[in-house]
Chains A and B, each alone.
Chain A
Amino acid sequence: MEGGGGSSWGVHSVCQTPPRDPPPYPAVVESTEEFHFVERLLPPACVPSPPQHPSYPTPSGWIPPRVPPPALPYHVGRSRMHNLPLYRRVANGNRRITELRRIRGDIWALEKELREFVGQRVGKQPLTQVNELSGTLRLKGHVDNEVRAWLLLKGF
């Protein structure tokens, strides 16, 4: 709005001069040759499947599940990162539990076999807790080495 004569602020009227040209920005070169370096930096969208190795176990000690899966009344699936679903838990600093998850099928048969196997290895059969609905099995004590040996024996 043009400032008329009655404006007491002494504000200048709207600039009448034409707008100046924008400052000359330097040119930019576009290229797609090096874009493959950018693609290398992108994180993968999902967990990659492990490659084939000439012999197992691999140097870090990993063994893949047997293909085809063993014909047993139960099955223990691998975790997202292709590892055995075996976890050590400690409660209150002194309560040691080994948990085996992702069990499907006849969990009681698995529990019986595992209990006997661990009992032979350790000397005493461990106390167990079965959760049928979630497919988890808990054993008293840190017996994950024995359970791992049994799982790899079976081929899970």
Chain B
Amino acid sequence: MSGNGVHGVHGALQLLRSLPKVSLANLRPNPGSKKPERRRGRGRYRGRKCGRGHKGERQRGNRPRLGFEGGQTPFYLSIPKYGFNEGHSCRRKYHPLSLQKLQYLIDLGRVDPTQPIDLTQLTNARGVTVQPLKRDYGVQLVEEGADIFAAKINIEVQRASELAIAAIEKNGGVVTASFYDPRSLEILIRPVPFFLRGQPIPKRMLPPEDLVRYYTDASNRGYLADPSKVAEARLELAKKYGYTLPDITKDELFKMLSTRKDPRQIFFGLAPGWIVNMADKKILKPTDERLLKYYSS
């Protein structure tokens, strides 16, 4: 193909220009590449009974249904039912986010470690894709990459494993586990379409009964847990995994690291009840007493 003259792409394009138009008349497969298949019922050996066997249900095409075992209780009926998948469509799902991926996003500048990291930031960076309509309730931190993790961040996820919390706190960061009900989650991951609707930012709902225990536990860094107990839990975790807990109060980014959302707040800095006007770049706040009382409860 590559002669003395043109090579590569130029050669290929020259060929395209000089050769006649491709049509069915001048296309054919490479000789020897397409061998005719052996068909059933043709020839001396594949003819005669045509691969159907000798007499009986096989030759006459009257075999019983799939799974029938000649009258013996078939396997699929002899095993009792058990609800392995019962309620699978109601179960809460948390998309995993490994520390390796988080470090990769920070290294490539898609996630800003100098600002608090939220599910909105992670979605904007295309690090995770959350589908609230598929019963996704958020993101969980997973340990993969705990040994290479080296970033000081203030991250808010929905669940975090113990080793992942330890890895982040070892580098001087802060982890919080917080709950978002499906409506708030949809707003959190797609804030712009929500603002364009012109509706006031709703209150974030509190977790359901079975999750209250998880989010009030300091060892999970739940957002409803007692802050003093959280501090104790940080020390305990440091002792368990054998690292010295860096003092964040002396850090220059302490203010950013200690930023937390109110349990009823969806976005940082924006309170429930406000309407965001994207076109005029303004925020409208209610003044009616009843509305203020409702939104601040």
Is A143 in the interface zone, CB < 8 Å from B?
Answer: no
Q: Which residues of B contact A8 (CB under 8 A)?
A: none
Is B130 in the interface zone, CB < 8 Å from A?
Answer: no
Contact call B150/A59, Cβ cutoff below 8 A: yes
Specify the chain A residue showing the minimal Cβ separation from B2. Answer: A108
Of the candidates B100, B115, B283, B284, which one forms a contact with A60 in the assembled complex, judged by CB atoms under 8 Å apart?
Answer: B100
Interface string of B99-129 (1 = CB under 8 A from A): 0100110111110000100001001100000
Contact call B107/A35, Cβ cutoff below 8 A: no
A82 to B148, CA, bound (A): 20
Contact call A41/B191, Cβ cutoff below 8 A: yes
Contact call A37/B148, Cβ cutoff below 8 A: no
Specify the chain A residue showing the minimal Cβ separation from B1. Answer: A132
Is A14 in the interface zone, CB < 8 Å from B?
Answer: no
Interface residues of A in 1-45 (CB under 8 A from B): 26-32, 34-38, 40-44
Instruction: Report the contact-size class of chain A (Cβ under 8 Å from the partner).
Output: 35 or more
Contact call B285/A31, Cβ cutoff below 8 A: yes
Interface centre among A29, A32, A34, A48 (most CB of B within 10 A): A34
Q: B147: shortest Cβ distance to chain A, in Å?
A: 10
A105 to B276, CA, bound (A): 52
Q: Which residues of A contact B278 (CB under 8 A)?
A: 38
Contact call B124/A38, Cβ cutoff below 8 A: no
Q: Which residues of B contact A108 (CB under 8 A)?
A: 2, 7-8
Among listed A49-57, A90-98, A114-122, A145-153, interface-contacting one: A49-57
Q: A43: shortest Cβ distance to chain B, in Å?
A: 4
Contact call B287/A34, Cβ cutoff below 8 A: no
A29 to B287, CA, bound (A): 7
Q: Which residues of B contact A106 (CB under 8 A)?
A: 7-8
Q: Which residues of A contact B286 (CB under 8 A)?
A: 26, 28-29
Q: A94: shortest Cβ distance to chain B, in Å?
A: 21
Is A133 in the interface zone, CB < 8 Å from B?
Answer: yes
Of the candidates A26, A30, A41, A53, which one forms a contact with B283 in the assembled complex, judged by CB atoms under 8 Å apart?
Answer: A30
A40 to B256, CA, bound (A): 14
Contact call B7/A60, Cβ cutoff below 8 A: no
Is B281 in the interface zone, CB < 8 Å from A?
Answer: yes
Contact call B287/A26, Cβ cutoff below 8 A: yes
Q: Which residues of A contact B267 (CB under 8 A)?
A: 37, 41
Interface string of B148-189 (1 = CB under 8 A from A): 111100000000000000000000000000000000000000
Contact call B283/A59, Cβ cutoff below 8 A: no
Contact call A35/B109, Cβ cutoff below 8 A: no
A37 to B191, CA, bound (A): 12
A44 to B284, CA, bound (A): 25
Specify the chain B residue showing the minimal Cβ separation from A35. Answer: B281
Specify the chain A residue showing the minimal Cβ separation from B111. Answer: A48
Contact call B9/A132, Cβ cutoff below 8 A: yes
Q: Which 8 A-B pairs have the closest CB atoms?
A: A37-B269, A26-B288, A58-B107, A60-B104, A43-B124, A60-B103, A41-B191, A59-B150
**A-B residue pairs in contact (CB < 8 Å), sample of 16:** A26-B286, A26-B288, A28-B286, A29-B287, A30-B282, A34-B274, A38-B191, A38-B195, A42-B192, A48-B108, A50-B108, A50-B109, A59-B107, A60-B104, A60-B148, A108-B8
Chain B interfacial positions (CB closer than 8 Å to A): 2, 7-9, 11-13, 100, 103-104, 106-110, 115, 120, 123-124, 145, 148-151, 191-192, 195, 267-270, 274, 276, 278, 281-288, 291
